[in-house]
């Protein structure tokens, strides 16, 4: 049975941001032996060489089926079991699937120990998803501002008015039509294309 | 009122009947609405079906039998309600291995036993030269691809350890063989054709020559859910059969192939789908949607031969319950080269003796 304190954990993922989040979280929890495998091909041989206690893999990675093979058929990893397949904790598995994480675990590890690691991964994966949403929101705001600035410029030139007046015009139209200023700005930019 | 049925599938040509049933509203004819979602792995399909995230799944026929037998890795038993086709796999090899095999072949190159004997010779030479064994990939431990590779190797009397078997996901087969990580593979459509067109591999045998009318994929439901509402799997089965009957008609063939090519999302052209059907590599006709317990029993024998299941009369009987019978299924393959005239579930031990002896 592997040393509970000194588990060798492999993260199979090609997303550097997500793996960094996961690795840092595991280190904070006292897991020093964390390796990242970002290769898609020849995963079986790589994992055989590393011989990890736990493999964490992104749910969208097609290589999950490679791990199924290693675990069920080959002699080397005959002691290993799949977390999803053998855990009876449906709530945890549901949370893991929602978060997009799956774990393959060597048999013989204490369930509570594994659960703690998987729970940590779930919260970290969720944090990553939130981060990505925030990033998308920020990028959306930036794009909105750019469109509004461009539309203001068009109006100022076409009507020979000030920036404040141009903005006030767009805001009025937006309020009347129940739309966002950015949407009005985009319509204006599109329309302006026709009058070039 | 239509009932929503959430179904997961793998982007493969043999998901075709599901995709056509949905595109042409054959699901509505049975009071259902198929909501189809692609998945990257069989493991995902299994887990999401077991957890009820899906109501049904495009599933490897042997995986359903494995779940019924309670073999390692299946948290909830499944049943097959309808077959989604027969055959469809092929064995491909790297261009280098194709050349080496051609030099060794004596006899008919289309005969799998001939190519397997050539491979046996080649493997023996490699071992003598101190080279690592050749590596062949299939797609999942419980898959017809796995058993077809084993049957092929066995027909050339290749020792189990003389060739390494591994798993590679279908979309990665081409890269894996180009990178030299594997020397050959057994996979379903359109991946053999796509890899061959890219010059990465050559198709050696369609698996139909090894195991004609081999059960391939089924539409799987959780046993517990299927027993609770048996009309649901039966309605879905009828919708699938409607799609197959529609596709059989000459005037619909072009649209049938185009729909499958477009909706699968694996990069196949309509011509590729048409070719696999015309050459009879893959069967998506109405007869190919039928299911019989004898098919499950035959897969059980292959599992025992592969060391995945125990030879036991109780298990053999249990295996047969994995598939809900649907009239008209062709008999299971006879596995040529193994002197099995016809497979009889009552005499499964004879088949096993021929395969494992």
* All domains of chain A in start order, with CATH: 9-134 (3.40.190), 137-194 (1.10.10.10)
Q: What pLDDT score was predicted for residue B339?
A: 53
Say if A62 is an interface residue toward chain B (CB within 8 Å).
yes
Nearest by CB to A85, which of B44, B73, B308? Answer: B73
Tell me: do B183 and B122 sit in the same domain: yes
- What ipTM, to 2 d.p.? 0.91
Q: Residue B97: which pLDDT band, with cuts at 50, 70 and 90? A: very high
Domain-embedded: residue B353: no
What CATH number is given to the structural domain containing B202? 3.40.190.10
Domain-embedded: residue B78: yes
Q: What pLDDT score was predicted for residue A79?
A: 43
Residue B43 to residue A72, Cβ atoms within 8 A: no
Mutation target for A interface from B141, B167, B179, B200: give the one with most A CBs within 10 A.
Answer: B167
Domain-embedded: residue B110: yes
Instruction: State which of B170, B190, B209 marks the end of a domain.
Output: B209
Measured in angstroms, the CA of B352 and the nearest CA of chain A are apart by: 20
What are the φ/ψ torsions at residue B41 (nearest 5 degrees)? -150, 155
Check if the beta carbon of residue A81 is closer than 8 Å to that of residue A70: no
Which tokens belong to B347?
């005499």
Query: What is the model's pTM?
Result: 0.85
Q: What pLDDT score was predicted for residue B31?
A: 97
Say if B75 is an interface residue toward chain A (CB within 8 Å).
yes
Q: What pLDDT score was predicted for residue B61?
A: 98
Q: Is pLDDT above 70 for B3?
A: yes
Domain-embedded: residue B336: no
What is the domain range of residue B164? Answer: 90-209
Kindly list the residues from chain A whose CB atom is less than 8 angstroms away from the CB atom of residue B75: 84-86
Tell me: do B76 and B117 sit in the same domain: no
Mutation target for A interface from B39, B138, B166: give the one with most A CBs within 10 A.
Answer: B166
Domain-embedded: residue B351: no
Q: What pLDDT score was predicted for residue A169?
A: 92
Q: What pLDDT score was predicted for residue A95?
A: 76
Say if A41 is an interface residue toward chain B (CB within 8 Å).
yes
Q: What pLDDT score was predicted for residue A80?
A: 47
What is the residue-level pLDDT of chain A in tens, covering all 196 positions?
Answer: 445 557 888 888 888 888 888 888 888 888 888 999 988 888 888 888 888 888 888 888 899 899 888 776 544 444 445 555 455 567 777 777 777 777 777 666 666 667 777 777 777 777 777 777 888 888 888 899 999 999 999 999 999 999 999 999 999 999 998 889 999 999 999 988 888 7
Tell me: do B227 and B138 sit in the same domain: no
* Rounded mean pLDDT, B221-248: 97
Q: Parallel, antiparallel, or unpaired: how do β-strands B78-83 and B217-222 relate? A: antiparallel
CA distance B314 to B316: 5
Nearest by CB to A65, which of B51, B140, B181? Answer: B140
**Residue A170: strand, helix, or coil:** helix
**Looking at chain A, which residue has its C-alpha nearest residue B167?**
A66
**Looking at chain A, which residue has its C-alpha nearest residue B161?**
A74
How many contacts does A have with B, using Cβ atoms within 8 A? 83
pLDDT tens by residue, B266-297: 999 999 999 999 999 999 999 999 999 999 99
Q: What pLDDT score was predicted for residue A112?
A: 67
Q: What pLDDT score was predicted for residue A77?
A: 43
Kindly list the residues from chain A whose CB atom is less than 8 angstroms away from the CB atom of residue B147: none
Tell me: do B14 and B72 sit in the same domain: yes
Mutation target for B interface from A65, A81, A101: give the one with most B CBs within 10 A.
Answer: A65
Which is higher by pLDDT, B188 or B347?
A: B188
Say if B51 is an interface residue toward chain A (CB within 8 Å).
yes
**Looking at chain A, which residue has its C-alpha nearest residue B141?**
A69
Neighbouring C-alpha atoms within 13 Å toward the C-beta of B311 = 15
Q: What pLDDT score was predicted for residue A54?
A: 82
CA distance A29 to B309: 40
Domain-embedded: residue B350: no
Tell me: do B124 and B60 sit in the same domain: no
Residue B43 to residue A69, Cβ atoms within 8 A: no
Q: Which residues contact B140 (CB under 8 A, 6 or more apart)?
A: A65, A68, A69, B42, B60, B63, B146, B167
Tell me: do B223 and B277 sit in the same domain: yes
Domain-embedded: residue B328: no
Tell me: do B78 and B222 sit in the same domain: yes
Q: Which residues contact B324 (CB under 8 A, 6 or more apart)?
A: B79, B80, B81, B226, B233, B234, B237, B291
Tell me: do B94 and B54 sit in the same domain: no
Q: What pLDDT score was predicted for residue A107?
A: 60
Q: What pLDDT score was predicted for residue B81?
A: 98
**Looking at chain B, which residue has its C-alpha nearest residue A46?**
B181
Mean pLDDT taken over chain B: 93
Tell me: do B138 and B182 sit in the same domain: yes
Rg of chain B's alpha carbons, rounded to an integer? 20
Tell me: do B159 and B199 sit in the same domain: yes
Q: Which of A19-28, A122-131, B13-22, B77-86 has the lowest mean pLDDT?
A: A122-131
How many residues make up chain A in this entry? 196
Say if A68 is an interface residue toward chain B (CB within 8 Å).
yes
pLDDT tens by residue, B23-59: 999 999 999 999 999 999 999 999 889 888 999 999 9
Which tokens belong to B274?
């048409």
Tell me: do B235 and B288 sit in the same domain: yes
Q: DSSP per residue over B251-282, as a string?
A: GGHHHHHHHHHHHH-S---HHHHHHHHHTTSE
CA distance B335 to A111: 44
> Chain A, 97-136: which have a CB under 8 Å from a chain B CB?
97, 102
Say if A73 is an interface residue toward chain B (CB within 8 Å).
yes
Measured in angstroms, the CA of A85 and the nearest CA of chain B are apart by: 5
Domain-embedded: residue B42: yes
Measured in angstroms, the CA of A12 and the nearest CA of chain B are apart by: 15
Q: DSSP letter at B22?
A: H
Report the helix count and the strand count for chain B, using DSSP H and E.
16, 12
Which tokens belong to A27?
């280190």
Kindly list the residues from chain A whose CB atom is less than 8 angstroms away from the CB atom of residue B48: 97
Tell me: do B27 and B168 sit in the same domain: no
Overall domain count for chain B = 2
How crowded is residue B74: how many other Cβ atoms within 10 Å of its Cβ?
20
CA distance B181 to A180: 54
Q: What pLDDT score was predicted for residue B336?
A: 52
Would you call A157 exposed, middle or buried from its count of C-beta atoms within 10 A (0-12, 13-18, 19+)? exposed
Q: Residue B63: which pLDDT band, with cuts at 50, 70 and 90? A: very high
């Amino acid at each position: 049975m592997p040393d509970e304190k000194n588990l060798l954990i492999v993260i199979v993922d090609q997303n550097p941001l997500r793996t960094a989040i996961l690795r840092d979280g595991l280190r904070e929890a006292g897991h020093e032996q964390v390796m990242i495998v970002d290769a898609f091909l020849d995963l079986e041989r790589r994992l055989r060489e590393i011989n990890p206690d736990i493999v964490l893999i992104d749910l969208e990675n097609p290589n999950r089926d490679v791990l199924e093979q290693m675990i069920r058929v080959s002699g080397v990893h005959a002691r290993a079991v799949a977390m999803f397949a053998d855990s009876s904790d449906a709530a945890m598995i549901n949370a893991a699937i929602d978060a997009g994480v799956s774990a393959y675990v060597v048999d013989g590890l204490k369930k509570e120990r594994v659960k703690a690691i998987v729970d940590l991964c779930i919260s970290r994966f969720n944090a990553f998803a939130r981060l990505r949403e925030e990033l998308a929101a920020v990028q959306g705001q930036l794009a909105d501002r750019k469109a509004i600035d461009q539309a203001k410029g068009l109006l100022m030139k076409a009507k020979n008015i000030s920036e404040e007046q141009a903005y006030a015009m767009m805001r009025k139209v937006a309020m009347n039509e129940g739309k966002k200023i950015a949407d009005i700005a985009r319509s204006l930019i599109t329309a302006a294309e026709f009058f070039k | 009122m239509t009932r929503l049925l959430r179904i997961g599938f793998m982007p493969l040509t043999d998901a075709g009947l599901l995709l056509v049933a949905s595109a042409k509203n054959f699901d509505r004819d049975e009071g259902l609405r198929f909501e189809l979602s692609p998945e990257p792995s069989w493991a995902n399909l299994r887990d999401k079906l077991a957890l009820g995230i899906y109501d049904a799944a495009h599933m490897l026929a042997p995986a359903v039998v494995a779940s019924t037998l309670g073999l390692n890795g299946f948290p909830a038993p499944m049943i097959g309600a309808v077959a989604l086709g027969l055959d469809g796999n092929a064995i491909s090899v790297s261009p280098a291995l194709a050349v080496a095999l051609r030099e060794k072949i004596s006899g008919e190159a289309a005969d799998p036993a001939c190519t397997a004997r050539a491979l046996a010779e080649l493997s023996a030479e490699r071992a003598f030269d101190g080279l690592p064994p050749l590596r062949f990939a299939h797609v999942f431990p419980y898959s017809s691809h796995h058993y077809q590779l084993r049957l092929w190797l066995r027909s050339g009397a290749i020792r189990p350890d003389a060739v390494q078997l591994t798993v590679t996901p279908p979309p990665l087969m081409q890269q894996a063989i180009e990178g030299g990580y594997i020397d050959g593979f057994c996979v379903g459509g359109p991946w053999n054709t796509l890899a061959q067109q890219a010059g990465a591999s050559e198709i050696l045998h369609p698996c139909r020559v090894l195991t004609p009318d081999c059960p391939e994929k089924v539409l799987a439901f959780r046993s517990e859910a299927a027993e609770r509402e048996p009309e649901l799997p039966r309605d879905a089965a009828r919708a699938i059969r409607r799609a197959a009957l529609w596709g059989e008609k000459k005037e619909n063939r072009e649209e049938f192939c185009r729909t499958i090519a477009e909706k699968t999302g694996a990069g196949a052209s309509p011509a590729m789908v048409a070719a696999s059907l015309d050459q009879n590599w893959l069967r998506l006709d109405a007869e190919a949607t039928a299911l019989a317990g004898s098919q499950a029993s035959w897969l059980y024998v292959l599992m025992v031969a592969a060391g995945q299941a125990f030879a036991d009369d109780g298990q053999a009987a249990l295996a047969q319950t994995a598939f809900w019978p649907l009239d008209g299924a062709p008999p299971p393959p006879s596995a040529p080269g193994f002197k099995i005239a016809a497979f009889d579930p009552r005499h499964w031990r004879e088949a096993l003796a021929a395969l494992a002896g």
